[in-house]
């Protein structure tokens, strides 16, 4: 049976009401503020503002680090679940800084949709564009929220044009702003014919909402001053002529994005956006795996690890694997097969993340994100099933672009450094290479800021002061080929070889020329800049 609205199979009600998404934005556009308001309307917290306050106090939120506060960036991803109307939302937090693209990329493999937040004065910024491209590669549906409309912002047509031209996606206005900056009054909800008025007096209060019987309704003039009304009516007429109307299928295909205008800090436009996520979806989607596609309504449970986070709570040295459930109805205590090792795992204390609290998950459904505490068995990319041997596709690991060696500045603590580094490698926070000859480690990252984050975390979480120093190498490539050839190659090139944290051989060099030479001289071997984590 097909659900005509979403053109997809009818799902069990609990799966049908799940919405799993991420927010993509450039730093400072308002992602944190919007998240707080989501949680506020999701009933997950009493008062917006508590996400930060509680997080700092309890260290369970991702942005607990001093460095993050100083720089105003969010370093690692976490998940939050909350209910809104009849829907169950799973919001996966993406790190905003460009240095964390790999982590972000993996996070986006765990969601079905993205909310793109842009600053109404700035439009599309560099990081928005990068993240958008990642979503586009998967044809992911995108909802757009144009934030900070309470301030001087760009002309509405200009904003929409910029998105259409820069990102090559059709844009359909779901709401239309009335007035700009200080004169910003609110929005007309074009999908539901309502006038939404912003309440400037109380930021946590949702303003008045007036049902309007079309744009000719005299009620409009009762709420909108004449000089604003005239311009607004002209603009909407033009917009309706020039812009596509909402097409649900085009949205689900990722070729059209509805845009809402609002002000997260004033709680304005947020509920309309949430209604959009709820009503338009998408619902949990079919996931590609190596053997066959996995549908969410299959009775058996499957899922994959997209994120491992260590030391979320410094008091408990736990490690949480974040798992996206792809099918079935999960119950606490279930025995699942850890496909990589083929071993059974009893999932005794799965976690649900509700705002800044975690809670035991008695059950969970396809689409949900659960956290599984473990001692390092669960790695990024690992699949969990009820016995079936399968691997979920498309979770990549990138070759680091920057290499540095690391040592502890306190020789007494040097031996604990191994443990700390291994832990971060398992989290996917850095690549760890053990040179075949000599002592020490080479650390590889995608962006320079990651070195600072690592140094700060090693000090904070393990009490080990460390220093990163330039390595003699600048590139790392995974080496694959017939075992005999690989072994022979390693033997001849010991000074260039290292093993990564999974024990796979890596060729390190500072010259592209070296890489070309290996490829030419050793046709049986290949050097690769990515490794699928499987």
List contacts with ligand GDP (CB under 6 A): 25, 27-33, 96, 147-148, 150-151, 263-266
Query: Residue 151 or 329: which CB sits closer to ligand GDP?
Result: 151
Enclosing H/E stretch for 407: strand 402-408
Is 338 among the annotated ligand-binding positions? no
Is 337 among the annotated ligand-binding positions? no
Q: Collapsing DSSP states into helix, strand and coil, what is residue 366?
A: coil
Query: Residue 182 or 375: which CB sits closer to ligand GDP?
Result: 182
Handedness of CA 213, 216, 218, 220 (dihedral sign): positive
Is residue 297 left, alpha or beta, with left meaning phi > 0 and alpha meaning psi from -120 to 50? alpha
Query: Residue 184 or 424: which CB sits closer to ligand GDP?
Result: 184
Query: What's the rounded Cα separation, in Å, for the pair 472 and 434?
Result: 14
Query: Residue 114 or 508: which CB sits closer to ligand GDP?
Result: 114
Is 531 among the annotated ligand-binding positions? no
Is 350 among the annotated ligand-binding positions? no
The least CB distance from residue 469 to ligand GDP, in Å, is 32
Is 26 among the annotated ligand-binding positions? yes
Query: What's the rounded Cα separation, in Å, for the pair 249 and 253?
Result: 6
Is 148 among the annotated ligand-binding positions? yes
Of 95, 59, 65, the residue nearest 78 (C-alpha): 95
Task: Give 361-397 as a DSSP string.
Answer: -SEEETT-EEEEEESS---TT-EEESS----BS--EE
Is 54 among the annotated ligand-binding positions? no
The least CB distance from residue 482 to ligand GDP, in Å, is 49
Query: Residue 147 or 493: which CB sits closer to ligand GDP?
Result: 147
Q: How many CB atoms lie within 10 A of CB 151?
A: 15
The least CB distance from residue 41 to ligand GDP, in Å, is 15
Is 199 among the annotated ligand-binding positions? no
The least CB distance from residue 81 to ligand GDP, in Å, is 19
Query: Residue 263 or 475: which CB sits closer to ligand GDP?
Result: 263
* DSSP state letter for 246: P
The least CB distance from residue 370 to ligand GDP, in Å, is 25
Query: What's the rounded Cα separation, in Å, for the pair 144 and 25?
Result: 10
Query: What's the rounded Cα separation, in Å, for the pair 338 and 219?
Result: 61
The least CB distance from residue 402 to ligand GDP, in Å, is 24
CA angle 107, 111, 114 (to 5 degrees): 95
Cβ-Cβ contacts under 8 Å for 211 (sequence gap 6 or more): 193, 194
The least CB distance from residue 119 to ligand GDP, in Å, is 8
Q: In the structure encoding, which two tokens stand for residue 373, read together?
A: 């505490």
Query: Residue 35 or 404: which CB sits closer to ligand GDP?
Result: 35
Is 29 among the annotated ligand-binding positions? yes
Q: In the structure encoding, which two tokens stand for residue 290, read together?
A: 């190596």
Asked if the bond preceding 282 is cis, omega within 30° of 0, the reply is yes
Query: What's the rounded Cα separation, in Å, for the pair 111 and 358?
Result: 20
Annotated binding residues, as ranges? 25-32, 93-97, 147-150
Annotated binding residues for GTP, as ranges? 25-32, 93-97, 147-150
């Amino acid at each position: 049976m097909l659900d005509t609205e979403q053109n997809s199979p009818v799902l069990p009600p609990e799966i049908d009401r799940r919405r799993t998404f991420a927010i993509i934005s450039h730093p400072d556009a308002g992602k944190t503020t919007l998240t707080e308001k989501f949680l506020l309307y999701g009933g997950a917290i009493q008062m917006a503002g508590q996400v930060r306050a509680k997080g700092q106090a309890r260290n369970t939120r991702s942005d607990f680090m001093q460095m993050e506060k100083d720089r105003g960036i969010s370093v690692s991803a976490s998940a939050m679940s909350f209910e809104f109307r009849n829907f169950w939302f799973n919001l996966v937090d993406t790190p905003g800084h460009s240095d964390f693209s790999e982590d972000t990329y993996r996070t986006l493999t765990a969601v079905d949709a993205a909310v793109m937040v842009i600053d109404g004065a700035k439009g599309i910024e560099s990081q928005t564009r990068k993240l958008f491209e990642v979503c586009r590669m998967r044809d992911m549906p995108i909802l757009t929220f144009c934030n900070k409309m309470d301030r001087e912002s760009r002309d509405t047509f200009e904003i929409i044009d910029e998105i259409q031209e820069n990102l090559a996606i059709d844009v359909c206005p779901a709401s239309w702003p009335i007035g700009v900056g200080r004169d910003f009054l609110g929005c007309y909800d074009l999908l539901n014919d309502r006038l939404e008025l912003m309440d400037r007096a109380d930021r946590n209060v949702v303003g008045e909402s007036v049902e309007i019987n079309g744009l000719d309704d005299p009620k409009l003039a009762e709420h909108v001053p004449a000089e604003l009304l005239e311009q607004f009516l002209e603009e909407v007429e033009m917009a309706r002529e020039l812009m596509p109307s909402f097409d649900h299928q085009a949205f689900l295909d990722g070729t059209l994005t509805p845009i809402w205008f609002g002000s997260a800090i004033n709680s304005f436009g947020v509920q309309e956006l949430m209604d959009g996520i709820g009503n338009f979806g998408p619902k949990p989607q079919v996931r590609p795996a190596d053997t066959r596609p996995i549908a969410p309504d299959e009775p058996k449970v499957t899922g994959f690890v997209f994120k491992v986070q260590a030391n979320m709570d410094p008091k408990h040295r736990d490690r949480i694997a974040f798992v996206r459930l792809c099918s079935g109805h999960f119950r606490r205590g279930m025995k699942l097969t850890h496909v990589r090792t083929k071993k059974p795992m009893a999932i005794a204390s799965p976690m649900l993340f509700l705002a800044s609290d975690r809670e035991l998950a008695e059950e969970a459904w396809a689409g949900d994100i659960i956290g599984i505490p473990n001692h390092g068995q669960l790695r990024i990319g690992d699949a969990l099933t009820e016995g079936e041997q399968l691997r979920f596709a498309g979770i990549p690991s990138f070759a680091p672009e920057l290499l540095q060696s690391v040592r502890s500045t306190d020789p007494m603590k040097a031996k604990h450094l191994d443990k700390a580094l291994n832990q971060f490698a398992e989290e996917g926070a850095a690549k760890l290479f053990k040179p075949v000859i000599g002592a020490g480690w080479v650390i590889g990252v995608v962006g320079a800021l990651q070195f600072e984050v690592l140094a700060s975390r090693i000090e904070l979480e393990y009490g080990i002061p460390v220093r990163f120093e330039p390595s003699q190498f600048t590139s790392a490539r995974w080496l694959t080929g017939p075992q005999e050839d690989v072994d022979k190659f390693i033997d001849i090139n010991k000074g260039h070889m290292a093993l990564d944290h999974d024990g796979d051989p890596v060729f390190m060099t500072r010259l592209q020329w070296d890489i070309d030479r290996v490829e030419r001289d050793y046709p049986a071997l290949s050097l690769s800049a990515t490794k699928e984590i499987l």
